[in-house]
Amino acid sequence: MRISQLLKKKGTEVTTVRPEDTVANVVATLAEHRVGALVVSADGETIAGIISERDVVRGLAEGVEVMQKQTSELMTSNVVTCTPEATTEELMATMTEHRFRHMPVTVDGKLAGIVSIGDIVNARVTELEIEREQLTGYISGR
């Protein structure tokens, strides 16, 4: 399945925070939107970084004062992205290899969506169920 198909089903809305926002704001936004990562962007289109729950936990290990730091101090700057033409299989391999769970989707360098490993797993399960039904139908002559 192509990521464009997945985005049609789940939507293209991406929750973002600004690089100058505090980590406390990041935590509140993660909780409010019930997501595990936020794209860091000054304008909602250009990706400056990504910050996840894991980043916050690593920061908290150094002390609670991290909550007053700017997001830009904790975020991952070298963000791996994909295009809508990528496949779920490709993303699953990339996410597993690099050990992250969220990947922004870009079109012409601009933010166009975000996909989580949960989205990928759900899409793959659906694909496999359809394939199983087709094979069962083929074998039974339906």
pLDDT digits (tens, 9 = 90+) for 129-141: 887 888 888 888 7
Strands (E), 1-142: 16-17, 37-40, 49-52, 102-107, 110-116
pLDDT value at residue 141: 77
Beta strands in 12-129 (DSSP E): 16-17, 37-40, 49-52, 102-107, 110-116
List, in sequence order, every residue forming a beta bridge with 39; answer none if it has no partner: 16, 50
Contacts of 109 (CB under 8 A, 6+ apart): 46
Question: Which residues form the domain of 94?
Answer: 3-140
CATH of the domain at 124: 3.10.580.10
139: which residues sit within 8 A by CB, 6+ positions away?
A: none
pLDDT > 90: percent of the chain: 85
Instruction: Give the model's pLDDT for residue 136.
Output: 84
Mean pLDDT, residues 74-93? 96
Report the pLDDT value the prediction gives residue 119, as an integer from 0 to 100: 94
Report the 10 Å Cβ neighbour count for 40: 26
The three-state secondary structure class of 113 is strand
Instruction: Check whether 142 has a pLDDT greater than 80.
Output: no
Looking at the structure of the chain, the number of domains it has is 1
Mean pLDDT across the chain: 94
User: With 80 as the cut, is the pLDDT of residue 9 above it?
Assistant: yes
Instruction: Determine the Cα–Cα distance for residues 4 and 119; give it in Å rounded to an integer.
Output: 12
Q: What is the pLDDT of residues 17-72, one digit of tens each?
A: 999 999 999 999 999 999 999 999 999 999 999 999 999 999 999 999 999 999 99
